[in-house]
Amino acid sequence: MITVDDLIFEYPGVRALDRASFTIPQGRIAALVGPNGAGKTTLMRCMAALEQPVSGRVEIGGIDVLEQPRACHRIIGYLSDFFGLYQRLTVRQCLHYVARAQGIAAADCAAAIADVSHGLQIKDRLDQYPSALSRGLRQRVAIAQAIIHKPAVVLLDEPASGLDPEARHQLAELFLQLQRQGMTLMVSSHILAELEAYSTDMLVLRQGRIVEHAVINAPALRKPFRLVLAGAYPQLAETLQKLQGVELVRTDQDRMAIVNLENDGDRQHQVLKALLDTGMPVCEFGPATVNLQDAYLQTLHKQP
């Protein structure tokens, strides 16, 4: 759904994006994380065709974003870190304008506004001005603006900044709801705990480079498993790589390993049996929860 290939963006004297490349399949929620100044906003803006990179390629839904920016705008929704709401229009007027500007026929606007305001629980705020709303509600209005035309891809830059824990939880629920509707989301944030609630992928951006692309909660048939041994087993990695249907994620001191297995009980039983048959001193084998914060920090520590 989203393919970014060798993307380079430069500000005078600074390479903000350095050959950034990744692919996000349809229906995923990718968390874009990285320290301040890593290039997250620049990457988002390049993907939304709001900035022109020096070189590289961005493809969204089969559309070359750099060649056909206007075609891309029709299939994406973009939420900037400042919300971009018209303060002199009511919420309903804001949504009506954006709906019309996105090509929704005047006759269908009321239904689109009702639909999106219901989903975002802002139905009772439609006749208020954005300046009279709390930050959390303003942000919901901004998200409503971004998704009113039902885009296939939604890019959200720091959507949870400044929100209280309850609002963050509601936001996570909302993103999962959008994912269920078939949308692909890319969310940049510093708050990793909140990203963990809904992300399926994690992209770590550091100094303009994608240094890690980890699958966190793969909705597909594979699932991470944790294998712990009673003692060190030097051929651990080699043995796991040889086993059919086992995808090795990492090992730790030849005593622990994280592997991806098919989400099928019989298959998991066969893998465990095969491990025991090799004489491996297995003492623990079960589903692993991949902590986003741990994964992120581990990725950063791995980098020079």
Q: Considering only 48-56, 171-179, 215-223, 250-258, which stretch makes contact with other proteins by CB under 8 A?
A: 48-56
CB of 49 to other proteins, least distance (A): 5
Question: H-helix or E-strand containing 160?
Answer: none
Q: Is the Cα dihedral 216, 218, 219, 224 positive or negative?
A: negative
50 contributes a contact to other proteins by CB under 8 A: yes
* Helices 165-180/135-147 angle, 10° precision: 10
> How far is C-alpha 88 from the geometric centre of its chain's CA atoms?
33
Tell me whether residue 80 or residue 260 sits nearer to other proteins (CB atom): 80
Tell me whether residue 88 or residue 169 sits nearer to other proteins (CB atom): 88
Tokens of 269: 């039983």
Tell me whether residue 82 or residue 304 sits nearer to other proteins (CB atom): 82
Separation of alpha carbons 168 and 50, rounded Å: 27
Tell me whether residue 186 or residue 259 sits nearer to other proteins (CB atom): 186
Among 54, 274, 291, which Cα is nearest to 196's? 291
DSSP secondary structure code for residue 123 in this structure: G
- Among 6, 23, 37, 52, the residue binding other proteins under the rule CB under 8 A is 52
188 contributes a contact to other proteins by CB under 8 A: no
CB of 219 to other proteins, least distance (A): 28
Count of residues touching other proteins (by CB under 8 A): 34
- Among 27, 69, 136, 245, the residue binding other proteins under the rule CB under 8 A is 69
Tokens of 60: 């969204």
Strands 55-60 and 63-64: antiparallel
Site string for other proteins, 134-153 (x = CB under 8 A): -----------x--------
Tell me whether residue 51 or residue 262 sits nearer to other proteins (CB atom): 51
